[in-house]
Amino acid sequence: MSLIEEIDYGTPRSKSETMVTLTIDGKEVTVPEGTSVMRAAMEAGTEIPKLCATDMLESFGSCRLCLIEIEGRNGTPASCTTLVAEGMAVHTQTERLKRLRKGVMELYISEHPLDCLTCSANGDCELQDMSGAVGLREVRYGYDGKKHPNPGIDASNPYFTYEPSKCIVCSRCVRACEEVQGTFALTIAGRGFDSVVSPSMQEPFMESECVSCGACVQACPTATLNEKSVIDIGTPEHSVVTTCAYCGVGCTFKAEMRGEEVVRMLPYKDGKANRGHSCVKGRFAWGYASHKDRITTPMIRENINDPWREVSWEEAIQFAADKFKAIQAKHGRSSIGGITSSRCTNEETFLVQKLVRAAFGNNNVDTCARVCHSPTGYGLNTTYGTSAGTQDFDSIEYSDVVLVIGANPTDGHPVFGSRMKKRLREGAKLIVADPRQIDLVRSPHVEADFHMQLKPGTNVALLTSLAHVVVTEGLVNEDFVRERCDWDEFQDWAAFAAEERNSPEAMEKYTGVPAETVRGAARLYATGGNAAIYYGLGVTEHSQGSTTVMAIANLAMATGNIGREGVGVNPLRGQNNVQGSCDMGSFPHEFPGYRHVSTDTVRETFESMWGRELDSEPGLRIPNMMDAAIDGSFKGMYIQGEDILQSDPDTKHMIAGLSAMECVVVQDLFLVETADFAHVFLPGSTFLEKNGTFTNAERRIQPVRKVMAPKNGYEDWEITQMLANAMGYPMHYEHPSEIMDEIAALTPKFAGVTFKKLDEEGSIQWPCNEEAPNGTPVMHVDGFVRGKGKFVVTEYVPTDEKSGPRFPLLLTTGRILSQYNVGAQTRRTANSEWHPEDLLEIHPFDAETRGIRDGDWVKLSSRSGETALRAQVSERMAPGVVYTTFHHPKTQANVVTTDFSDWATNCPEYKVTAVQVMPSNGPTEWQEEYDEFSRKSRRIEEAPTVVAAE
């Protein structure tokens, strides 16, 4: 194994389909029009020396090292800024060029510290490489000329340092921040020798607008910006391509290693989701894998008030299996169940649902998608016939109009957010529908054309009023609808949408969005060219979540924005493998591939393969499991990699449910909140310690590759397998590839997927089968999967969660950039420096009327419960609306959220909770009691001291 060195072509690939032929050093080369000579040369195998050029960035032409000579032209132009032309004859290495390049390098080196042997980039420095490439042997100007400014090292960022004395002012970092990340946090301050890279107004990195995505560090050709891990450990010696375990973007990384130690995670340019970019989580926040809180020994206890007792794997597994079997013997087959994890691999998820269906003998299996994107599955399956997004991420490059609804991509899906911002800077128009003024509404070089700042809970009213404008102003793409959709259903829907009561003017009283804004947005969406919708949990986590998804699907069909690049309906999935966990049959009513358990032919296929008779009735969803636990008919569960106590709504109800069970088995990395109520703790493995696949939001199946042995001894699928065997259901997989082979054999959409093919292709977007052997980047191209697209009438039904005198404000919850979900991973990294606690965002008006100042403790209460946290006075919220995150167990924000949920799927209504906010002195009594209980619950019994016999 060795380091994977990606070829740097110097400038980006041209998208032109017109080809141009030229000669470079006498060799004929054919490349797309618009390609730089530098790139053409590299494609022909000739590397022209360069310093300021890299193929992640547009050409800049400042270093003057990549000079070339062109026959018939004067001078020595820079090859990075010179485009190819038909018949051009280029020379990359002449006596003149050699002389010039040496001269340039002499100037660079004359003011660069020559501490190469002790420099952290020794062996990984492009300046060093180029000195070698141009044959630099002496510096005529001496080595003690005016040195580059050396104000000291900025080590404020927890993950990288900035050492100005090593800067060659190539501006790659500045351009990466602008072009790739789109934050514009960096600039070059000063002139000549005084030029330095400046975060914001020459502030330390941590005090600047920098979002720590790492693009600048990656772009830096020297050690000026360098990972602290490289400084501490040294340069890596081998690398493995794998997939990030955070968020649904699914970035591909090179895990760069020294032995079994991760040195750094570098985004992989060939990664089709991220195209070489990353965010602060995937790039830097992987240290949790070796955090001291990690539990690596199995533990059991009879009662949740007992301390944990460390035991062998055999004892823990047998203890769990015996408990489960005893419960079933006493309370019936349906008295236990399981939860699959969207943080685990497809293979692991598949195995958990197989364990429940085949070994437990029921369908009581659910997944965290229940509380995030289950309405996406229901809504898109109903309208289009597929429970998934329609596009690949590259599609954004062809969008003319982007409609973002209930999503905050720059925080929740930052790498895709950067790709979106890039397209917006190129001129695409932007419509945002969100109660908050998210960053996309107005940030450097990006401004929404329309921000529909709707009241929480009124998505359906808003979308139907958009549809009203499309229908009544003659903006329907009738050709598309007639050809691709059910015409009768369309007419019903159009008549409904056209009713005056659904007009923007009539709906304004519900949504709070001025009618003219809605009309403008609808006209832009329908007539602005390729229009794409991206949505998140602000759509799904409502009592009408599924209806909202169908309203979105209606709008896209009515305007013909489906079935080609640049358009579509795109759910931005929360966790890394939400799509995959749904695909793998994690829902209680369907087998892998979204096929209902009552369909005899499907069930018989699984029965034949699995050798057990399977239940034809749907099982319990997570909230129903808790209800049934309280009711006494559900007594045990196996939870792999989810912290339902912290992530699910109405914490007190969750506690009541979990406390009522006789055996809760938690398999996780840490003693998470749910583990406080567990009887068996099975230590899990991180994504660095296992093989398998994740499927991201664009249906892309991507390999996860093991780079170190599991610290707990087993990959998660092996633990499930042990439990199945102990339950009396034999499983004997040797490798996750065998599980994928079984998935492919049982699931038509995955029929063509194998680990071998994934190794060859890098990734595959399902469906992948005989009809689509290389996968399917864009869906519904020639027709909808269900046949004719189905228009659904989307009547607005206001939520029953209403503000009033007792609870006059509406709370909506979400996440921020640096933390991930319940924070179990990111809180155990330096990411907490950005977000050490959950804060309550409150509008100045609401704060002032309550006597609340920025930073004050406030009590947040609802009919479900109350918690206390600090206030952040902010105009990002409209008056009457407050916002917080759920990353910290100290806050337990979900103690406030309610049991209201989506009508079709029971996805909780996290986005609308009527609350009151009042000044407070600190944590509530409940928080203190919970904290005390939690501390006691995590006690681990000390192993008895063994005295050696004399």
In the chain, % helix, strand, coil (3-state, to 5) comes to 35, 20, 45
- Give the nearest distance from C-beta 353 to another protein in angstroms: 15
Q: Stretches 351-359, 435-443, 523-531, 793-801: which one binds another protein (CB under 8 A)? A: 793-801
Nearer to another protein, 7 or 797 (CB): 797
Beta strands in 608-748 (DSSP E): 636-640, 663-668, 680-683, 692-695, 700-704
Binding to another protein by residue 618, rule CB under 8 A? yes
Distances, alpha carbon 885 to alpha carbons 295, 634, 646, 811, 840, in Å:
26, 31, 11, 11, 8
Strands 636-640 and 336-340: parallel
Q: Are 20 and 43 in contact (CB under 8 A)?
A: no
DSSP state of 73: -
Residues numbered 413 to 432 that lie near another protein (CB under 8 A) are none
Binding to another protein by residue 460, rule CB under 8 A? no
- Give the nearest distance from C-beta 395 to another protein in angstroms: 31
- Give the nearest distance from C-beta 627 to another protein in angstroms: 5
- What would the two tokens of residue 54 be? 């890299």
Count of beta carbons in the 10 Å neighbourhood of residue 143:
13
Q: Stretches 11-19, 43-51, 151-159, 611-619: which one binds another protein (CB under 8 A)? A: 611-619
Per-residue mark of binding to another protein, 621-660 (x: CB under 8 A)? x--x--xx-xx-x---------------------------
- What would the two tokens of residue 908 be? 């909780």
Q: Are 554 and 491 in contact (CB under 8 A)?
A: no
- What would the two tokens of residue 148 be? 């580059």
Binding to another protein by residue 558, rule CB under 8 A? no
Nearer to another protein, 546 or 776 (CB): 546
Nearer to another protein, 231 or 793 (CB): 793
Nearer to another protein, 366 or 668 (CB): 366
Distances, alpha carbon 818 to alpha carbons 88, 219, 603, 854, in Å:
49, 21, 43, 21
Binding to another protein by residue 897, rule CB under 8 A? no
Q: Choose which of 904, 912, 914, 917 interacts with another protein (CB under 8 A).
A: 904
- Give the nearest distance from C-beta 680 to another protein in angstroms: 24
**Distance in angstroms (rounded) separating the CA atoms of residues 157 and 284:** 11
- What would the two tokens of residue 251 be? 């970035």
- Residues in binding contact with another protein, number by CB under 8 A: 33
Per-residue mark of binding to another protein, 483-502 (x: CB under 8 A)? -----xx--x---x------
The single-letter code of the amino acid at 574 is: G
Give the alpha-carbon dihedral of 463, 469, 470, 474, to 10 degrees: 170
**Distance in angstroms (rounded) separating the CA atoms of residues 883 and 898:** 15
Nearer to another protein, 128 or 546 (CB): 546
Nearer to another protein, 54 or 905 (CB): 905
- Give the nearest distance from C-beta 619 to another protein in angstroms: 6
Q: Choose which of 792, 840, 877, 896 interacts with another protein (CB under 8 A).
A: 792
Q: Stretches 247-255, 620-628, 744-752, 918-926: which one binds another protein (CB under 8 A)? A: 620-628
Give the alpha-carbon dihedral of 498, 500, 503, 509, to 10 degrees: -150
> Residues near 757 by Cβ (< 8 Å), separated by ≥ 6?
764, 768
- Give the nearest distance from C-beta 356 to another protein in angstroms: 13
Which ranges of 589-683 would DSSP assign to H, the alpha helix? Answer: 600-610, 622-631, 644-647, 651-659
Nearer to another protein, 327 or 628 (CB): 628
Nearer to another protein, 486 or 643 (CB): 486
Nearer to another protein, 86 or 488 (CB): 488
- Give the nearest distance from C-beta 596 to another protein in angstroms: 7
- Give the nearest distance from C-beta 30 to another protein in angstroms: 57
Give the position of tokens 């006597």: 851
**Distance in angstroms (rounded) separating the CA atoms of residues 681 and 317:** 10
The backbone torsions φ and ψ at residue 132, rounded to the nearest 5 degrees and listed phi first, read -70, -40
Render 881-950 in DSSP notation, one character per residue. Answer: EEEEE---TTT-GGGTS-S-B-TTT--B-TT-EEEEEEE-SSS-HHHHHHHHHHHHHT-BPPPPPPPPP-
Nearer to another protein, 260 or 488 (CB): 488
Phi/psi zone of residue 803: left (φ > 0), alpha (ψ -120 to 50 degrees), beta?
beta
Nearest alpha carbon to residue 344 among 577, 689, 574, 586: 577
Nearer to another protein, 412 or 545 (CB): 545
Per-residue mark of binding to another protein, 527-556 (x: CB under 8 A)? ----------------x--xx---------
Nearer to another protein, 274 or 335 (CB): 335
Nearer to another protein, 285 or 494 (CB): 494
Residues numbered 567 to 596 that lie near another protein (CB under 8 A) are 588-589, 596
**Distance in angstroms (rounded) separating the CA atoms of residues 408 and 406:** 7
Q: Choose which of 206, 793, 830, 940 interacts with another protein (CB under 8 A).
A: 793
Q: Choose which of 834, 903, 926, 933 interacts with another protein (CB under 8 A).
A: 903
> Residues near 547 by Cβ (< 8 Å), separated by ≥ 6?
379, 460, 792, 794, 795, 797, 903, 904
Binding to another protein by residue 610, rule CB under 8 A? no
Nearer to another protein, 324 or 791 (CB): 791
- What would the two tokens of residue 366 be? 């659910």
- What would the two tokens of residue 323 be? 């408990």
Provide the sign of the torsion angle of the four alpha carbons 885, 890, 893, 899, taken in this order.
positive
Nearer to another protein, 54 or 340 (CB): 340
Q: Choose which of 598, 659, 774, 849 interacts with another protein (CB under 8 A).
A: 598
Q: Choose which of 170, 620, 639, 810 interacts with another protein (CB under 8 A).
A: 620
- Give the nearest distance from C-beta 759 to another protein in angstroms: 39
Binding to another protein by residue 797, rule CB under 8 A? yes
Residues numbered 181 to 240 that lie near another protein (CB under 8 A) are none
Residues numbered 352 to 391 that lie near another protein (CB under 8 A) are 364
Q: Choose which of 795, 837, 848, 941 interacts with another protein (CB under 8 A).
A: 795
- Give the nearest distance from C-beta 616 to another protein in angstroms: 10
Nearer to another protein, 596 or 939 (CB): 596
Biggest CA pair distance of the chain = 96
Nearer to another protein, 69 or 492 (CB): 492
Distances, alpha carbon 832 to alpha carbons 90, 359, 540, 816, in Å:
52, 41, 28, 11
Nearer to another protein, 589 or 735 (CB): 589
Q: Choose which of 237, 314, 473, 617 interacts with another protein (CB under 8 A).
A: 617
Q: What would the 3-class secondary structure string for 741-801 be?
A: HHHHHHCHHHCCCCHHHHHHHCCEECCCCCCCCCCCCCCCCCCECCECECCCCCCCCCCCC
- Give the nearest distance from C-beta 262 to another protein in angstroms: 43
**Distance in angstroms (rounded) separating the CA atoms of residues 346 and 763:** 14
Q: Stretches 323-331, 667-675, 788-796, 858-866: which one binds another protein (CB under 8 A)? A: 788-796
CA atoms within 13 A on the CB side of 577: 31
Binding to another protein by residue 899, rule CB under 8 A? yes
- Give the nearest distance from C-beta 492 to another protein in angstroms: 5
Chain residues in the site for another protein (CB under 8 A): 334, 364, 488-489, 492, 496, 543, 546-547, 588-589, 596, 598, 617-621, 624, 627-628, 630-631, 633, 792-793, 795, 797, 899, 903-906
